[in-house]
Structure formats: structure tokens, C-alpha cells
A and B are shown apart, each in its own frame.
Chain A
Amino acid sequence: MKHYDAIVIGGGHNGLVHAAYLARAGRQVLVLERRPVVGGATITEEIYPGYKFLIGSYLISLLRPQVIQELELAKHGLELLPLESTLVPLPNGDYLADWPDHDMTRRELMRHSRRDAETYEEFSLTMRRLSLAMKPLLDLFPPDPTSLAPKDIEQMARIKGVLGNMQRRDFHTLCRLCTMSIADFLDEWFETQPLKAIKCTSGIIGTFMGVRSPGTGYVALHHYLGEIDGVRRSWAFPKGGTGAFAQAIASAARAYGAEIMENAPVHQVLIKHGAACGVVLEDGREFYADRIVSNADAKRTFLQLVPRDQLPGDFLWDIERFRTASPACKVNLALDGLPTFSAVPQGSEQLLRGSIEIAPSVDYLEQAYDDAKYGGWARKPFMDALIPSLLDPGMAPPGQHVMSLFVEYASSEMDWTAEKKAEFLDVVIDTLAEYSPDLKSKIIHKHIMTPRDIQDIIGITSGHIFHGELSLHQLLFLKPSPQWAQYKTPVRHLWMCGSSTHPGGCITGAPGRNAAMELLKDWSA
């Protein structure tokens, strides 16, 4: 029986990135994926023949540029198509658009508010400076400020160096942004409702908080840390969907010698003399390795895959209380032709090539949260829509389209029966149809992934797209548990490399890469 250097549980994008880095360093690596296809939530599936659906993630921005370069992902087929614009259709038939061009955006904002048009420039510059300062933290392992270990002290000094370079006023703004609600923060800058609303959405994507919940400011900043080819705050659609991105990493990992096994659900981590030494699959097969690295979320890893008696009680307490309740659904539509939006003036159809946001006002967003927070769903949900087939014609048959809708809020905590699923799908389509009257007549097929579906099909606890809430009490040295925030776990030789670890969710590749760097260092020590 082959003995591996490392076994990675879960072929989501961070697991693949992790495996690729270990294999690149000459290690024998085996990736075990539960499903018949790798990618985890980073997948493209032909749910309806001819139409490629983005049933999980749908855009890339925070992906660390080092991952693209070091793993030579372009050579393995990664192509990024930047989104050009953001369109917010409004109920009154007007719209607000963020164009790909500064002059055009300024002119558009002037239509709504002269003051906001100018404040917007200062706001953008401030956010750019804050994200520039914060970005290095993505690639550091989070030091424990209570530890006097040399590596923690060294890392703290590096963080102090990063923050010390900031202008004082920026640092103060950063502290306020991280602790405020995104709505309160934006109230200090802007007066135009749809502008505030659209900026608010960065603070609530993926998180079960409302725009007026403190801490959503940090979530917004998290979404500002991305870049495409050095263009900050830019988002891109990977040609072929995010699934093609996962295939590119898998191809890179294989090229470095990693083995990837699909249809291989792990039943349990095998532990001998207090150290992880292998895994047993649900079909009884066993695989052995020096290190076991879980890309599954923290709850799934420690509450399902590791025997409870192998874990200290306080750690279990932390993991059991790790917040994972999720409000996010994915809806995909196969469309017979391009739907029209009543707010889009003739000649401005290029606006449909970017993000289309159903977020007309701050109150609309907060109300959507209010509806769902007691365990229900938003009667008028917030949506982040995209028509990928306008960017990549391979996503649908010629002349046809697919539409991807990221939808909030619908609670992971409710009882998702088939009827409820269908009912909420209707809520989503009815809401969108208010802005696009011919939408319903063009729908060939519709598909929804509720938080429960994301949990059951993809395997993420509560379907939380970030593997746990991005709230302040679960960040940095507190992620996922105060003493175990540096990719190691209380079980010797068991590591973590998924989004439950620093710096958290989104397609970043950062936890996978950071964990690989730490593990390789640990090996050589």
C-alpha cells in the first residue's frame, strides 16, 4: 500500500491549491474528493443540457496573484474575463451604473448627486489605501498576540510594520470601518440611496448579518482586497465558469505529481498514538500519510471526521460554537434569449455584461435581512446577478443565455422542504421579473441551491460560503479557534487548509497556500 506524505481531504479550490504546492515541493500527495468532480463550491455543472450553471461560486477577485503565477494556472487553462460594470436597476425605472471608465462613472453619479460624484473619488482613494495596507495580511499566518513564541513575535512585528506604514488618519478610518456597520460607515460619505446600497452589498455577501449590523464594514473591506492584473477591486469571470478554474488548479496539481481521487468520501481520520496517520473512506478503503490536511470546514472536520475523544473539550466548545448559519442561495436560469431590463436605456445594453444588483436602497437590504433572521427568507431578496453567457459564449447554446443569481437572505436554519424550495425560487424570480418584465417568458429551466443544498451536495456545514462567518470574533488569531489559528490542530499531524482558516472565504487560494507554506516549513524543521 502506497504511503503518502500528505492526504488532503476535499478537492475544493483550497484543497487543490494546497496539494499543488505540496506536490510542487516534491511531496507525494493524495487529494480525496467526495463528489465525482473536483472543485467543491468552485464548480460549473451542466444541470440542464447545453447550459452551464454556476451552482456555487461565480466570480474571482481575491485569488492571490501568486497562486496564478506560482502554479502557472494560465498554462493550465485559466482565463479571466474582467467584469466591466455594475448596474443597479431601480423600481422607478431609473438606474445607477458604475461604468468601467472614471469619466463615465463620474458623469453617471452626477445625475444622482453632485456631492456624491465628488465624494466617490475620495472614498475610492481611501478604500484603495486601506486595501493596499490590509492586503499583505492575507498572505501571513495570523500570529497569536498572547504568545511569546519567536514566530508569533516576528509575525506581529511584520503586521506592525504593515500598519505602521499607514497614514494615521487611514489607520483610524480602518479601525472604524472594521468595527462599524457598512451602512453607518457609508452614511458618513454618501447621500444617494442606490449608491449607498450597492456599496453596502460588499458588506453582506455571504454573511448572515444585515447592512446595519456592526462588523459588516470588515466584510466589505474583505471584498475590496481583490485585484485582477493589479486593478484593485476588480472582479472577473473565469472562462468556463469557476469549475474551469478548479480544473486548472487540478491540472497544475497533477502536473506536479499529485494524485486526485474522485468519488472518494472520507468517513474518518485515522489517529494512532494521538497523531493523524490516515483516513478511512465510506467504502472502507484506507489510505495512509504522514500528514492529513482537511480542506473541509472546521465543523465538518472536527465534529464529523475526527473522533470526539481525540479532541480537547475547550477546542470542541469553540468549534461547536463557530458561527456558520448562512443566508446565501444560488439560482441559475437557462434562458431562451437575452432578457431585457426596463431600467436599461436603449444603447446601454453593455451594462448587462457586468454585475446586475437588485439592491435599490439600504432599507431594502436591511428589510431582506429582517425577514430572514428569525429563520425565514426575504420577501424581496437582494440579488447579485450575472449573465455569464454574455462574457463567455461557451456557457450556453448560441443566442441562448444563462443567468447566475446570488441571493440573500434565506436562512440555513429553516426546514427546507421541496415545497419551500420551489416557493422561494418563485420569490426570487418574481422579484427579478419586476425589473425584467420578459424574464419569465424566457426561462427554459430554473435551478436553486439553498443553504441546505450547498450543505448536502457540496458538503459545507450550513452551506456557509465562507466556511463560517467573517465576523470579528472569528477572524485572524481567533479563526477557527483561538489557539488553533495557524493551520495546525490539536491532533498532531492533522492540519487545516480550508476557508475556515485565515484569511477566510471567497476564491482566494490563500488558506491553501498559506497552510502549504507552514506545513512545508514544519516538515523541514
Chain B
Amino acid sequence: MMLRLKTTPFHPRTEAIMQANQWRRWGGYSVASAYEMTHDREYLAMRNACALLDVSALYKYEISGPDAHAFLNRLVTRDISQMQPGGMAYTPWCDSQGKVVDDGTICRLDEGTFRLTAADPNYHWLEENTAGFDIHILDVSEDLGTLALQGPCSRDVLAEVFGEAVRELPFYGIIHVENDLQISRTGYSGDLGYEVWVPSGRAVEIWDRLTEAGKRYALQPAGIWALDVARIEAGLIMLDVDYTPANKATTPAQASTPYELGLGWSVHLKKPHFVGKKALAKEKAEGSALTLVGLEIDHQALASEHEKIGLPVPFPFVPWREIVPIFNDEGQVGYATCGSWSPTLKKYLALAQVKPGSGEDLKIDIMVDRFRKSFGAKVRKLPFFNPPRKRG
């Protein structure tokens, strides 16, 4: 057998609707960048109807045993000591220097079992931190498929398929349905949305039931491009794009702390010892080298510079992911890591990390035809887009 990239449990269905062979890698899997020729409709569905995303490439670990709760509370920066069964939380976790190893969600499936999701492999990191804890770690990454159903109609679709109880699910809550499935009110779109956790063997069945019920709600399968636009609008960071995880950084300077990534709200210094606490307390007291900001790039100026020389305005519909220097009048103050046109807000958005106190009026260089030009980039509060229905 030839070794190929893995395919997710939903592949029999996703492969069938792929129109332009736009596959990409994610966590060792082949996943869709977009199913249709362009991702426009897929994105719009996420904001106006509902989009169905295969996010099975996430790494998933089940942590159980008498000390599971204490272990996780020591591992992550956020205080999850009060988490009850059915609860879920987003949090980063750090190394002893306070540099972010990964970020993801933790949910409490029942009294003694938790599930952690991660963007990168974390089995080794979890194991390294188990000393003194009576726990059991199970890598269930390949046993579980995950579908994200995101958008204003996602609740209605799920209620039709799994019953009305879904409607009661609070933001960051998780419930068990049909014995071996869970539905959580989570996602990466910054919108009303849910994630369905499915044993691999039932993946195709669940996909079919959701897409069938979704027909009445304009459900649209969507790929990573659409999700990437949405997550930038939502101001949500991404590992390997907006930060280098601590264990992949060649030098400590390459890695980031939660404070630098706008995740200071998830660092609870008042809870008992957790990995990286000392370093983070020091940073909190002394200030951070960088801070995450949202940037709104002066798109009108960009448009007029193009129009001046007879060129159409290049809209960055597919988000870019690269390090782009950000300046103020004194010089470079930081860097942007990703950017996108926001079809919902009609703005050109970017996420950046800049030195605190660099001001609100920053600048970014963008190519106009074949020449580099400087454009204004105003600091904006994150998230850029935050509809009441997300929590409502």
C-alpha cells in the first residue's frame, strides 16, 4: 500500500462534492480548501444560513482518572476548577517559560472524563506533565470525527436532527445525544455555531442526516478558506499562522505568551500553580513585549492607488498568511500575521502583534501593481465581528 495523506471519516462525502480538487493539508489529513470553485458561497452560508465544516483533523485527547480535573487545571492557564459535567472552555496552555504550547477546548464529558482538543500533537506534552497525577490519557484523534455546523440556522438544523434539547444548550455547553454523540456549542467562526463529535463509524450517517435536514436551511458544506475569513473577522488566532508553538520554536524569542496573543483574559494567576505561572506573573507585572491587535487597512486608499493607474482593486478574498511588517512613524513596531477582505463588514482586516503603546494609526506596506506602497492601518477592537446571536 502506498502511504498517502490520511482522509477524515467524512471523506466519502466530502470527496463526492469536491468540484475543483482544492485539497490542502491539515494535521496530516487531506481537507478541503473549498468544495465549490470559489469559497464565496461557503463563507456567506456561515454568516447567513449555516455551513458544515469537517474539522476532524483536530487532535483530541480523552483524559480520565481520579486526578483528571486537577491535572488539566494545572496544565492550562485558565481556571477550570469549577467546570461541571456538560461544561466546556477555551484555553491556551504554556511551557514553564509561559510560552504558548497550543490552544484548544476542554470539555467535561462526565464526572471523571475530560476531552481536550488541540491543533498540534500533544500526547507527549500531556504525558510529560502527568507526574504525580493518577490519570489516563487516550489519544482519540482518529476515533472521532468532528463536524462544525456554524451560522444563524445551525441551531434549527440540529434541533430537527437531534431534538429540541439542542436549543437549550448554552454558549460553551456540551450535551450527549444518541448514546455516543456529543454536541457542543462551540466553533471557530465567531457566530452562532455548534460542533458535533461523532464516532468515526457513524460519520457518514451523521453527515447525511445533517445535509438532508439542512436542505431547508440552505446548508452549505464549507472548506478552510471560508472558515479562515470568518475566524479573522472573529479575531481568533491560529497556531502556526499567528504564533509559533513553544515546542516548535527554534529560539525562545520565536514563541509567544498568552498576553502577547490577546489571551490575557484566559490567564488566571489567582488559581494554584499551573505550568508557566511564574513567568506569566512576571510578565503581567512587568508588561509584555507585544500585544495582539486588529487592524483595519485603509482600503479606500488602496483602491484609489490602483484606480489611479488603471487597475482593478485587488480584494484579498482568500486570506493571506504571512509575516508582514507593521510601522508607525518611528519605524517597525510589529508584524501582521494574516489578513482578509471581510465580505460582511466590507473592510480589509488583518491580525497583528505590535509593541504596546505604538499608537492607533499604524502603517502596512502593500504591493500596488509591482511597487510597494505604504497604507494606513487603524487599530480596531477585537473581535471585528461579534453578532449577539453568537451567545444568544
Which of A107, A114, A125 is B3 in contact with, Cβ under 8 Å?
A107
Whether B2 and A347, one on each chain, are in contact in the complex, defined by CB atoms closer than 8 angstroms, is yes
Contact residues in A for B127 (Cβ distance below 8 Å) = 115
Whether A104 and B139, one on each chain, are in contact in the complex, defined by CB atoms closer than 8 angstroms, is no
In the bound complex, CA of A336 to CA of B250 (Å): 47
Contact residues in A for B121 (Cβ distance below 8 Å) = 106, 117-118, 121
In the bound complex, CA of A103 to CA of B251 (Å): 23
Which of A107, A108, A118, A132 is B123 in contact with, Cβ under 8 Å?
A118
Is A348 interfacial (CB-CB < 8 Å)? yes
Is A129 interfacial (CB-CB < 8 Å)? yes
Q: Which A residues, 82 to 133, have Cβ-Cβ distances below 8 Å to chain B?
A: 97, 99, 103-104, 106-108, 114-115, 117-119, 121-122, 125, 128-129, 132
Whether B247 and A106, one on each chain, are in contact in the complex, defined by CB atoms closer than 8 angstroms, is no
Interface string of A35-55 (1 = CB under 8 A from B): 000000000000000000000
In the bound complex, CA of A167 to CA of B127 (Å): 23
Q: Which B residues, 108 to 123, have Cβ-Cβ distances below 8 Å to chain A?
A: 121-123
Is B41 interfacial (CB-CB < 8 Å)? no
In the bound complex, CA of A132 to CA of B249 (Å): 14
Contact residues in A for B139 (Cβ distance below 8 Å) = 114
Minimum CB distance partner of B124 in chain A: A118
Is B176 interfacial (CB-CB < 8 Å)? no
Q: Which B residues, 95 to 146, have Cβ-Cβ distances below 8 Å to chain A?
A: 121-125, 127, 139
Interface size on B, residues (CB 8 A): 19
Whether B3 and A99, one on each chain, are in contact in the complex, defined by CB atoms closer than 8 angstroms, is yes
Whether A125 and B252, one on each chain, are in contact in the complex, defined by CB atoms closer than 8 angstroms, is no
Contact residues in A for B250 (Cβ distance below 8 Å) = 125, 128-129, 132
In the bound complex, CA of A106 to CA of B28 (Å): 8
| A348-B28 contact, Cβ under 8 Å, with A115-B123, A115-B124 | no
Contact residues in A for B1 (Cβ distance below 8 Å) = 345-348
Contact residues in B for A347 (Cβ distance below 8 Å) = 1-2
In the bound complex, CA of A261 to CA of B2 (Å): 51
Contact residues in B for A99 (Cβ distance below 8 Å) = 3
Whether B124 and A103, one on each chain, are in contact in the complex, defined by CB atoms closer than 8 angstroms, is no
Whether A348 and B3, one on each chain, are in contact in the complex, defined by CB atoms closer than 8 angstroms, is yes
Is B5 interfacial (CB-CB < 8 Å)? yes
Is B306 interfacial (CB-CB < 8 Å)? no
Contact residues in B for A125 (Cβ distance below 8 Å) = 247-248, 250
In the bound complex, CA of A115 to CA of B127 (Å): 9
Whether A104 and B124, one on each chain, are in contact in the complex, defined by CB atoms closer than 8 angstroms, is no
| A107-B28 contact, Cβ under 8 Å, with A345-B1, A347-B2 | yes
Q: What's the minimum C-beta distance from A119 to chain B, rounded to whole angstroms?
A: 5
Query: Which of B5, B6, B121 has the most chain A CB within a 10 Å cutoff?
Result: B121
Is B284 interfacial (CB-CB < 8 Å)? no
Minimum CB distance partner of B30 in chain A: A103
Minimum CB distance partner of A104 in chain B: B3
In the bound complex, CA of A117 to CA of B6 (Å): 15
Q: What's the minimum C-beta distance from A81 to chain B, rounded to whole angstroms?
A: 22
In the bound complex, CA of A313 to CA of B120 (Å): 61
Interface string of A228-258 (1 = CB under 8 A from B): 0000000000000000000000000000000
| A122-B3 contact, Cβ under 8 Å, with A107-B28, A114-B139, A167-B252 | no
Q: What's the minimum C-beta distance from A97 to chain B, rounded to whole angstroms?
A: 8
Contact residues in B for A114 (Cβ distance below 8 Å) = 123, 139
Minimum CB distance partner of B127 in chain A: A115
Q: What's the minimum C-beta distance from B139 to chain A, rounded to whole angstroms?
A: 6
Interface string of B265-304 (1 = CB under 8 A from A): 0000000000000000000000000000000000000000
Whether A107 and B6, one on each chain, are in contact in the complex, defined by CB atoms closer than 8 angstroms, is yes
Is B25 interfacial (CB-CB < 8 Å)? yes
Contact residues in B for A119 (Cβ distance below 8 Å) = 124
Contact residues in B for A103 (Cβ distance below 8 Å) = 5-6, 25, 28
Interface string of B1-14 (1 = CB under 8 A from A): 11101100000000
Contact residues in B for A106 (Cβ distance below 8 Å) = 28, 121
Q: What's the minimum C-beta distance from A307 to chain B, rounded to whole angstroms?
A: 52
Contact residues in B for A345 (Cβ distance below 8 Å) = 1
Q: What's the minimum C-beta distance from B5 to chain A, rounded to whole angstroms?
A: 6
Q: What's the minimum C-beta distance from A353 to chain B, rounded to whole angstroms?
A: 14
In the bound complex, CA of A119 to CA of B123 (Å): 9
Contact residues in A for B248 (Cβ distance below 8 Å) = 121, 125
Q: Which B residues, 246 to 269, have Cβ-Cβ distances below 8 Å to chain A?
A: 247-248, 250-252
In the bound complex, CA of A347 to CA of B6 (Å): 16
Interface string of A201-221 (1 = CB under 8 A from B): 000000000000000000000
| A122-B6 contact, Cβ under 8 Å, with A132-B250, A346-B1, A348-B1 | no
Q: What's the minimum C-beta distance from A104 to chain B, rounded to whole angstroms?
A: 5
Query: Which of A118, A122, A128, A347 has the most chain B CB within a 10 Å cutoff?
Result: A118
In the bound complex, CA of A129 to CA of B110 (Å): 42
In the bound complex, CA of A108 to CA of B28 (Å): 11
Contact residues in B for A129 (Cβ distance below 8 Å) = 250
In the bound complex, CA of A117 to CA of B10 (Å): 25
Q: What's the minimum C-beta distance from B82 to chain A, rounded to whole angstroms?
A: 31
Whether A122 and B247, one on each chain, are in contact in the complex, defined by CB atoms closer than 8 angstroms, is yes
Contact residues in B for A97 (Cβ distance below 8 Å) = 3
Q: What's the minimum C-beta distance from B383 to chain A, rounded to whole angstroms?
A: 32
Whether B25 and A122, one on each chain, are in contact in the complex, defined by CB atoms closer than 8 angstroms, is no
In the bound complex, CA of A114 to CA of B123 (Å): 8
In the bound complex, CA of A37 to CA of B139 (Å): 58
In the bound complex, CA of A345 to CA of B127 (Å): 33
In the bound complex, CA of A167 to CA of B252 (Å): 8
Minimum CB distance partner of B251 in chain A: A167
Which of B5, B124, B251, B252 is A122 in contact with, Cβ under 8 Å?
B124
In the bound complex, CA of A176 to CA of B349 (Å): 49
Contact residues in A for B3 (Cβ distance below 8 Å) = 97, 99, 104, 107-108, 348
Contact residues in A for B122 (Cβ distance below 8 Å) = 118
Minimum CB distance partner of B250 in chain A: A129
What are 10 A-B pairs at a CB distance below 8 A? A104-B3, A114-B123, A114-B139, A115-B123, A118-B124, A119-B124, A121-B124, A122-B124, A167-B251, A347-B2
6 additional A-B residue pairs with CB within 8 Å, beyond A104-B3, A107-B6, A121-B124: A99-B3, A103-B6, A103-B25, A114-B123, A121-B248, A346-B1
Interface residues of A (CB under 8 A from B): 97, 99, 103-104, 106-108, 114-115, 117-119, 121-122, 125, 128-129, 132, 167, 345-348
Interface residues of B (CB under 8 A from A): 1-3, 5-6, 25, 28, 121-125, 127, 139, 247-248, 250-252
8 residue pairs, one from A and one from B, having the closest CB atoms: A118-B124, A347-B2, A103-B28, A118-B121, A118-B123, A104-B3, A345-B1, A119-B124
